[in-house]
Amino acid sequence: MRPALVPLVAAALVLGRTGTVRAQDPVKVAPQHFKVLLENDHVRVLDFRSRAGQKIPMHSHPGYVVYSISGGGKTRFTTPDGKTTEIASRPGQARWRDAETHASEYVGRGEVHVLMVEIKEAGAPER
């Protein structure tokens, strides 16, 4: 196994073993916000759109890249233990996010449009 995949596999194992903490697939909990653009054995590319004030229920992602297309502002993330953080973004910005479980709410203005590229581990079952 490549060294770069070790943290992703470890996070997947931890999330997979927590049972009640692990949330659902974002496409299943919020299909009006997430659209699958591409999915294969290596990645899943999601198109995400939301308007200010809309809340996305608790869900999980494996490690993923986020690319902001439009809608600068902040997104509020809430973890299963109730902790909240706000992360600012601007169009054209790309960032890496480790595997996580959260609920979210865009607290900027207007609409946010983001592409997410979720990285799959080799041999991981489909959702």
Q: How far is it, in rounded angstroms, from Cα 22 to Cα 59?
A: 8
Residue 72 confidence (pLDDT): 80
The tens digit of pLDDT for each residue in 99-123 reads 999 999 999 889 999 999 999 986 5
Q: Decide: 82 and 47 in contact? Cβ < 8 Å.
A: no
The tens digit of pLDDT for each residue in 49-100 reads 999 999 999 999 999 999 999 988 899 999 999 999 999 999 999 999 999 9
Domain boundaries, the chain: 3-119
- What is the signed CA dihedral for 81, 7, 96, 60, rounded to 10 degrees? -40
Residue 108 confidence (pLDDT): 85
Task: Identify the sign of the CA torsion 107, 108, 112, 115.
Answer: negative
**Domain 3-119, what fold?**
Jelly Rolls (2.60.120)
Residue 114 confidence (pLDDT): 97
Average pLDDT across the chain, whole number: 84
